[in-house]
Amino acid sequence: MPPAPQHRTAPAAAVLAAVLLPALTACGGGSAAAGAGSPAVSGPASSAAAANLTVLAASSLTDVFRTAGAAYEKAHPGSRITFSFAGSQELAAQVRQGAPADVLVTADTRTMDGLAAETAAPSVIAKNRLVIATGKGNPFKIGGLKDLADSKIKVVLAAPEVPVGRYSRRILDAQQVRVAPVSEEPNVRAVLGKVELGEADAGLVYATDAAKSAGKVATVDIPDGQNAVASYPAAALKQSKNAAAAAAFTAWLSGPEAQKILQDAGFQKP
């Protein structure tokens, strides 16, 4: 089994990790931080796949990756996967600033391509599409993108540097729909939250996020010809202290078990 991750001991490094990784979520329970000093195991668990890994993942993967992480740990005894979820642009900033992590999964290829010097070769593990999320019952009777131009409708979008924000503006511009958002949010979950709370009448979000909020929001589909396809590339980070295990987890995301979990959650095949 590869050695446990080496922890930074300098005060500056500790502050950096505390600031950049505030939302770590461990799949296996207990402490959110990846534990060092796990007992040695024999057999399959001692393979390269068994290690403590920190995975930086796009916010729209929050629910499905918790399920996937638990499945990976079950299939690879001795492993532990700890997630940090945020907007892809925030994750990229963490990588550039040296936050300790092993794998990166973004909601667009553009962000991943910008980190080519920091990652191994990425592979797309899933795709997604956008929908319009509205208040329960769709009180404004929104039927499509053009309705979002109505000044009486409060629309919220993700910020333009966020992948879902770029996708949103791309499809709106293509349909010549002019929208003045009441707010610009740091990730897709924040956009959805505004609609759920009634602070906005509509927002553009991923189909998978809207599906998780069924009963809290209504969903208006966007035709394929007007939509955008979001691609999710995954890559091991060159800075990882567990290079073999990081590569194994990344490869597993493209395998049949992980693909079934992703597609059951509404993600499309890569």
Q: Residue 254 and residue 124: Cα distance in Å, rounded? A: 8
pLDDT in tens, 127-183: 999 999 999 999 999 999 999 999 999 999 999 999 999 999 999 999 999 999 999
- Dihedral sign, CA of 74, 81, 193, 258? negative
The tokens for 139 are: 């009180």
According to the model, what pLDDT value does residue 48 have?
62
Q: Residue 238 and residue 121: Cα distance in Å, rounded? A: 10
pLDDT in tens, 40-79: 333 344 456 678 999 999 999 999 999 999 999 999 999 9
**Chain mean pLDDT for the chain:** 87
What is the average pLDDT across 259-263?
98
Q: Residue 40 and residue 193: Cα distance in Å, rounded? A: 43
According to the model, what pLDDT value does residue 47 have?
53
Residue 235 dihedral angles phi and psi, to the nearest 5°: -155, 145
According to the model, what pLDDT value does residue 12 have?
42
Q: Which amino acid is at 166?
A: R
pTM attached to this predicted model: 0.81
pLDDT in tens, 8-28: 334 444 434 444 444 444 454
Residue 85 dihedral angles phi and psi, to the nearest 5°: -100, 135
Residue 164 dihedral angles phi and psi, to the nearest 5°: -65, -25
The tokens for 230 are: 């979001």
Q: Give the percent of the chain with pLDDT over 70.
A: 82
Single out the residue of 59, 58, 51, 53 nearest to residue 102, CA to CA.
53
Pairs from 259-264 (Cβ < 8 Å, separation ≥ 24): 259/125, 259/126, 261/64, 261/67, 261/68, 261/71, 262/64, 262/68, 262/125, 262/126, 263/126
